[in-house]
Amino acid sequence: MATWNSRGLRGSTLEDLINRTILQYREKNLALIQKVPTPITPINIDKENRHITLAYFDKKSTVDYIGAVQGIPVCFDAKECAGDCFPIANVHEHQVKFMEDFERQGGISFFLIGFTSRDEYYYLRICDLKNFWDRSLNGGRKSFKITELDPDYFLKSKGGFFIPFLEGIQLDLEDRSQKKDSGKT
């Protein structure tokens, strides 16, 4: 059984920025997204500070966030990377399966990746992640480099939004529409 300890706060800076952006989107009636809680069972609790110091995960979580953007179902996961190379091992098979199933139901699935050393954020479509995933399963690189990513999907803070992922969704929808119009799947 997987356990949670000090590693449980990894990604908290990225998630804090995402949470602030989600709040702004909700206040402007642009999107309704919520954080999906990870079910845990506490083992040790610091009673003085009322903090869980050791716990195990009850089950595998799927994604960090789920909701709707202007009537479109969306789900995504947040991942942080300290360098310029993102390990595929940071993504789990059950997450990929859930996201693919979500897309088959008409939703949009993606990852928001924070490259912490660069203070840059990237909208990674599930189809692009799947290409890297399949490459790793077929004996290729077990990671992808920042230079392999489409520069159009890097998210720049603007308009007061910390991580404006709605811009990534808009670009994603436009790319899907172009592929559909050209007969590609």
- 95 annotated as belonging to a binding site for a ligand: yes
- Number of compact structural domains in the chain: 1
Tens digit of pLDDT for each residue in 70-117? 999 999 999 999 999 999 999 999 999 999 999 999 999 999 999 999
* Domain presence at residue 175: yes
Indicate whether 138 belongs to any domain.
yes
Structural domain boundaries enclosing 132: 13-38+63-181
Is position 77 annotated in a ligand binding site? yes
Distances (CA, A) of 119 to 61, 123, 147, 158, 164: 26, 14, 15, 14, 14
Q: Is 62 annotated as a binding residue?
A: yes
**CATH number for the domain that contains residue 169:** 3.40.1350.10
Read off the pLDDT band of 31 (50, 70, 90).
Answer: very high
Annotated ligand binding at 152? The verdict is no
What secondary structure letter does DSSP report for 142? S
